[in-house]
A and B are shown apart, each in its own frame.
Chain A
Amino acid sequence: MRLTRRTRLAGVALIAAASLTLAACGGGSDSEGGGSNDNVITVYGTNPQNPLIPTATNEVGGGDPLNNLFSGLTAYNSDGSIVNEVAESIEPNEDSTVWTIKLKPWKFTDGTDVTSNSFVNAWNYGAKAENKQLNNYFFYPIAGTDDEGYTADGADTISGLKVIDDTSFTITLKSPESDFPLRHGYSAYFPVPDAAYDASGKITKEYGEAPIGNGPYKLTKAGWERNKQISLEPNPDYTGSHKPKNDGLVFKFYAGGGTDAAYTDVQSDNLDVLDQVPPSALTTFESDDQVSAFNEPGSSFSSMTIPERLEHFSGEEGKLRRAAISMAINRPQVTEKIFNNARTPATDFTSPVLDGWTEEVPGNEVLEFNEAEAKKLWAEADAIAPWDGSFQLAYNNDGAGNKEFVDAVTNQIKNVLGIDSSGKVYPTFDELRKEVTDRTIKTAFRTGWQADYPSMLNYLGPIYATGAGSNDGDYSNKAFDKLVSDASAAEGDERYKLISEAQTLLLEDLPAIPLWYQNATAVASKDLKGFEFNWQQKPDYYKLTK
């Protein structure tokens, strides 16, 4: 059939109409957004990947809002020390294995009381494998859980938790842990109200979308708008230590995590806080007069791991080679040239933001660049068994700066030790981690650690203790294990002395070679006041004003 003039016109009209309709689809919602209250702070965020349930959220997009919506037994001060929040008191028994908790009178935003059961039920729920919560791992210190933190044998409850009455309960641990209260500011330990559970005892989908908390903020009526933003307003009944100084927070989501777009928004005053500076702006952000810049050493630690199971890296030979490689790396050069001083060369295995950290760990000269010594140690190792092959360092290419630093480090190794050395690329982090986790990786690889709670021990035990969950190099040293468990039970200066001794052991064996501490970098709009990094490399949101 031939198109007549009329059908032709109709066709053109149809196309025009279609494009208009499509255009109209998105235009409408302009009036509702913004809510231009002067003292509401907009901060960078990403769409949460899990329901907003404390035990189900393990990534930063959901974690940041949760930390403002809930209060745990303790709360973190900016410096990483703790104050009691919902807890009236947290008292250990003699060997720090049984902790008795007393609660203050406290309410959820739905008006119900925060009771012992609000905590105990939430933790039981999180630890039960059947519920598929992702923060199970945090419950492993408590008696009645397995090594992964699930309730033993699929039980409904953790046997180490005992409710005494509405305002007190006890927690029994598997082993002594003197800094146990430090954990309780972390989001996995937040309480959950009764309203969250349905008749069968499951936390409902609705709750995961609009959680009722007990923290400094609560969700506004609009709350979590998928792929758009999460809006919080101050909780008027909040009586804790993080009383908001602003009139609310809006976590504005950036599609695909685009920090570049967010940076531009801070420059043009469309966003108040961006808590991670994009790599493209790292050289310039401190001299950019359109933003306020922040750059301090942070709590995440970068290293490279050379597992014992690799050829030439076991026993005495491996020890020598690891030390040689460590001394062949010129850390200050890399942090300055590659990272524009957004990293600080490491002098130990923890982080400078922590209580008790010191630059003076005996044995840390192995982390200094020393060409002659590196060559000497390498030659000694060659005397045990001559080196052959190539030294490769695996990295994931989806993290900014990884390729650059791996190229630099492997070049330094090549030049100093005179061996063939290069990077081995994995496209994404999970591809690299899969091979690391199932132990099929045949090369050294980059590793890192960001603590879950502000304790130096959290940087040591979970990574280097025999059989620990994140012990990627399968390191095992009985003396180290003992020092860590002794330190866990000790207090005050004695504790830091033991930690230092444990680190000295690590510096001899180098189960991971410390590289640098990642700095916390952020930019904020010019008129924002009260910005201060806390130990989690986040601003203390409640202090922000403008």
Chain B
Amino acid sequence: MWWYVGKRLLQAIPVFLGATLILFILLKLRPGDPILNLAGNKPVSQEVRDALAAQYHLDDPLFVQWFQFVKSAITFDFGETFAGQPVFDLIKETFPVTVTLAVMALSIDAILGITLGTIAGLRRNGWFDSSMLVISLAMLAIPIFVLGFVMQLIFGVKLGWTSPTVGSDWTIGDLILPAIVLAIANFAYTIRLTRTSVAENLSADHVRTARAKGLSERMVVRRHVLRNSLVPVVTYIGINLGSLMAGAIITETIFNIPGVGNAAYTAIFKGETSTVVAIVTFMVMVYVLMSLLVDLVYAVLDPRIRYA
């Protein structure tokens, strides 16, 4: 198995190179002029313009820029933001809160989604199943920013149960509301997916065999139905961690969470190529690692899957 893990980690290298190159090309295609932006639309002499361009490597040909970036990235040197902060520090500052938020959302998503989905699947077409269908459709239909603002208004401003915004002195408690908001859209999918998967497995041969052996219903559900049903769900949830981190930007803005989504957004706006590339590359790596983790969890869930 370790050989497999090693192989997968080696595969991350071409992914890293490819992703950064694509990012460089995309950012190059972004029209506009970062220097003009930096100067606040006041006249800048050619001399200063050149000096600034050189400082942020905006003047080199694309491949040279990319090569420079990769070379320094190996030593975790990602250059500086326009504000003079090392990009690596920015990432160190912003990643923990985003990761925590994503993991919290993911936990809510996984625990509630799988539980409710399983119950719905076991009582297929019952009242619980039907009401879950309606509720999850409703959750899918409400855009995240509507939900965010409404929940912020109700629980943060009107009821005062929690602080409506998070800010930089964040605590786990502050993040509960944003995590719920972030989890809700995915959570609806998880319910649907678990429910269908469980319902399918209920009529599978090995479940009938297990019942025939005289196993208790609880055992049957836990050992044979659920475990088999979880493979697609785990895939979905695992890949979700990446999109939760990348997609948290709306939630981050609504609740003023100083996370990585906001940092990337600000950087894209200012045309800070190196900052954007560094942040997005980190996200790509999170994706790569998560999909590796998902593959390994398969083996835990289903003994027939082996990695050699």
Contact = CB atoms under 8 A, between A and B. Distances in A.
Interface in A411-441: 427-431, 433-434, 437
B296 A260 contact: no
A252 B262 CA distance: 16
B141 interface: no
B265 interface: yes
A433 B36 contact: yes
Contact of A469 (B43, B270, B299): B43
Interface in B82-132: 82-85, 89-90, 93-94, 96-97, 99-100, 103-104, 107
Given A147-B43, A255-B253, A256-B262, A30 B83 contact: no
A485 interface: no
A205 interface: yes
A147 B307 CA distance: 70
Most chain A beta-carbon neighbours within 10 Å: one of B40, B263, B271, B300: B40
Contact of A132 (B37, B52, B104): B52
A30 B173 CA distance: 11
B42 to A, nearest CB: 4
Contacts of B1: 1-3, 7
Contact of A270 (B84, B164, B259, B269): B164
Interface string A340-369: 000000000000000000000000000000
A434 B36 contact: yes
Contact of A148 (B44, B97, B149): B44
B258 A134 contact: no
Contacts of B256: 254-255, 258, 261-262, 265
B9 interface: no
Contacts of A470: 41
A51 interface: yes
A536 interface: no
Contact of A3 (B167, B254, B271, B300): B300
B48 interface: yes
B156 A264 contact: yes
B47 interface: yes
Interface stretch (A19-27, A96-104, A526-534): A19-27
Contact of B31 (A22, A129, A434): A434
B68 interface: no
Contact of B103 (A22, A27, A47, A254): A22
B303 interface: yes
A23 B168 contact: no
A268 B85 contact: no
Given A2-B306, A258-B253, A260-B254, A227 B41 contact: no
Most chain B beta-carbon neighbours within 10 Å: one of A267, A268, A290: A268
A268 B300 contact: no
A267 B157 contact: yes
B176 to A, nearest CB: 12
B269 A268 contact: no
Nearest to B39: A134
Contact of A431 (B32, B96, B258, B308): B32
Contacts of B99: 22, 25
A256 B252 contact: yes
Interface residues of A, number: 74
A258 B254 contact: yes
B172 A59 contact: no
A151 to B, nearest CB: 11
Interface in A352-405: 398
- What's the dominant secondary structure at chain B's contact region? helix
A255 B167 CA distance: 8
B38 interface: yes
Interface string A231-273: 0000000000000000000001111111011101101101000
A30 B48 contact: no
B216 interface: no
Contacts of A15: 293
A225 interface: yes
B253 A265 contact: no
B165 A1 contact: no
Interface in B35-92: 36-45, 47-48, 51-52, 55, 82-85, 89-90
Given A1-B2, A134-B39, A49 B82 contact: yes
Most chain B beta-carbon neighbours within 10 Å: one of A59, A132, A205, A267: A132
A137 interface: yes
A26 B253 contact: no
B169 interface: yes
Given A129-B47, A226-B85, A255-B258, A433 B157 contact: no
Contact of A48 (B34, B83, B254, B270): B83
A11 B306 CA distance: 15
Interface string B261-301: 01101100111000000000000000000000100110110
Most chain B beta-carbon neighbours within 10 Å: one of A1, A12, A470: A1
Nearest to A26: B96
A253 B43 CA distance: 28
Contacts of A265: 164-165, 256
B31 to A, nearest CB: 5
Contacts of B48: 129, 132, 136, 150
Given A255-B262, A261-B254, A437 B36 contact: yes
B217 interface: no
B115 to A, nearest CB: 18
Contacts of A22: 96, 99-100, 103
A124 B48 CA distance: 15
A255 B172 CA distance: 18
Contacts of A27: 170-172
B163 A268 contact: yes
A227 B93 contact: yes
A58 B32 contact: no
Contacts of B55: 132
Given A48-B83, A256-B266, A430-B33, A1 B308 contact: yes
B42 A134 contact: yes
Interface string A135-164: 111000000001111100010000000000
B240 interface: no
A22 B1 CA distance: 26
A37 interface: no
Nearest to A229: B168
A33 interface: yes
B24 interface: no
Interface string A109-151: 0000000000000000000011010111100000000111110
B40 A58 contact: yes
B299 A3 contact: yes
A430 B96 CA distance: 32
A221 interface: no
Most chain B beta-carbon neighbours within 10 Å: one of A7, A134, A154, A209: A134
Given A433-B36, A433-B37, 11 more contacts: A3-B1, A11-B297, A22-B99, A29-B168, A33-B167, A129-B45, A150-B47, A255-B257, A260-B253, A268-B156, A428-B269
12 contacts: A1-B307, A3-B1, A22-B103, A49-B38, A129-B47, A135-B42, A150-B45, A254-B256, A255-B257, A260-B149, A264-B153, A398-B269
Interface of B: 1-3, 31-34, 36-45, 47-48, 51-52, 55, 82-85, 89-90, 93-94, 96-97, 99-100, 103-104, 107, 149, 152-153, 156-157, 160, 163-165, 167-172, 249, 252-259, 262-263, 265-266, 269-271, 293, 296-297, 299-300, 303, 306-308
7 pairs of A and B residues whose beta carbons are closest in the complex = A33-B169, A261-B256, A228-B168, A25-B96, A255-B262, A431-B32, A58-B40
